[in-house]
Amino acid sequence: MTISVDDIKKLRELTGAGMMKAKEALVEADGNFDKAQELLRKAGAVSAAKKADREARNGLIEAYVHGGKIGVLVEVNCETDFVARTDDFKTFARDIALQVAATTPEYLRPEDVPADVVEKERDFHKNELASQNKPAEMIDKIVEGKLAKFYEGICLTKQPFVKDPDKTIENLTTELIGKLGENIVIRRFERIELGQL
């Protein structure tokens, strides 16, 4: 199958992938854009997993203030100062600050949620389902699904991205790692709202 330069360009604009990667994905997907995007997404996830152990100590602290009433500081790290100065990295840091302002996450990742909070949530759903006479084997599966939804509400990395709800912050980070070729870590955030303690 012949892949046109216009098709490659279109896929690059949609995904941010390099020219050769875009062409390879289109060839493998027989010209199907959706399948090519999925292939690139999976390749980015594999690439991100390989880079996860590399130390990320450069980066930047981004500030965002909304209407003088909400202020956010986020620290986003990468491996090199070179990547920290790229427009893609700066845009990502701004987007993360905007996300924190808009969604008020309490924790960065699910593993940051205290065990007693998780257990309390798990027990609540188990008791609720038991009172509805659900079969015991179904209860655990349903509870895990409800916990995933719980994490989505309170953990930044699991939240749908406010600018594109089809992606989570975790997906967004993985895509950027694939694009920039470095480990990228959202290290911490702080959100301040006027009149709140």
pLDDT by residue (tens digit) across 6-31? 777 777 766 666 667 777 887 888 87
The Cα-based distances of 131 to 101, 114, 118, 124, 146 in angstroms read 38, 26, 20, 11, 16
| Burial classification of residue 35, based on how many CB atoms lie within 10 Å of its CB (0-12 exposed, 13-18 middle, 19 or more buried) | middle
User: pTM here?
Assistant: 0.70
Token pair belonging to 126 = 């188990």
Domain extent listing, the chain: 5-51, 58-108+155-193, 114-154
Nearest to 181 by CA among 62, 80, 99: 80
- Comparing 54 with 2, the larger pLDDT belongs to 2
Please provide the CATH number assigned to the domain covering 58-108+155-193.
Answer: 3.30.479.20
Class of domain 5-51: mainly alpha
DSSP string across 93-115: HHHHHHHHHHH--SBSSGGGS-H
CATH number of 114-154: 1.10.286
pLDDT of residue 47: 53
Lowest mean pLDDT segment, chosen from 3-7, 15-19, 80-84: 15-19
